[in-house]
Amino acid sequence: MEKIDNLDRQILEIISQNARIPFKDVAAECGVSRAAIHQRVQRLIDLGVIVGSGYHVNPKSLGYRTCTYVGIKLEKGSMYKAVVAELQNIPEIVECHFTTGPYTMLTKVYACDNEHLMDLLNNRMQEIPGVVATETLISLEQSIKKEIPIRADK
């Protein structure tokens, strides 16, 4: 991977706080031209450093009042890809990680209420071939949500 420099890091710090900030404002803060910012951002996208931008929707505003983390134990770890393919078909699952520890996988799931959650667990997730057990942790409050820190070049 091509190395990113301090100007790249400064740009990342600014746009990770506000993805909608105009490039002219980023340029002014960085002391370079708008064209330079545009070229740098495009290069960072091409390098895979920037992997997306957009709006974040509050799940509660759509009726998803319950945020949960579901640990999934599989019959065999080698079944992971097949299970992920099935989990992809459940729109309420917004994240899935292959993990170490007591679970083979850890998913983040949104549900409207406990009844909806129970349906997702009993009739969708636990019915997937290879899933032998699930354990559900309900998030009572999200206290921290932030981007990874942009460190100065060492």
Confidence band for 141, pLDDT divided at 50, 70 and 90: very high
> Under DSSP, is residue 76 helix (H, G, I), strand (E, B) or coil?
coil
Inform me whether the pLDDT recorded for 154 exceeds 70: no
* pLDDT, tens only, 30-49: 999 999 999 999 999 999 99
- What dihedral do alpha carbons 38, 43, 46, 50 form, nearest 10°? -70
Q: What is the mean pLDDT of residues 95-124?
A: 97
* pLDDT, tens only, 47-84: 999 998 888 889 999 999 999 999 999 999 899 999 99
Rounded to two decimals, what is the model's pTM?
A: 0.82
For the chain, what is the mean pLDDT? Answer: 94
> Under DSSP, is residue 102 helix (H, G, I), strand (E, B) or coil?
coil
Rounded to whole angstroms, how far apart are CA atoms 122 and 49? 39
pLDDT, residue 82, reads 97
Q: Which two tokens stand for residue 82?
A: 């097949």
> Under DSSP, is residue 27 helix (H, G, I), strand (E, B) or coil?
helix
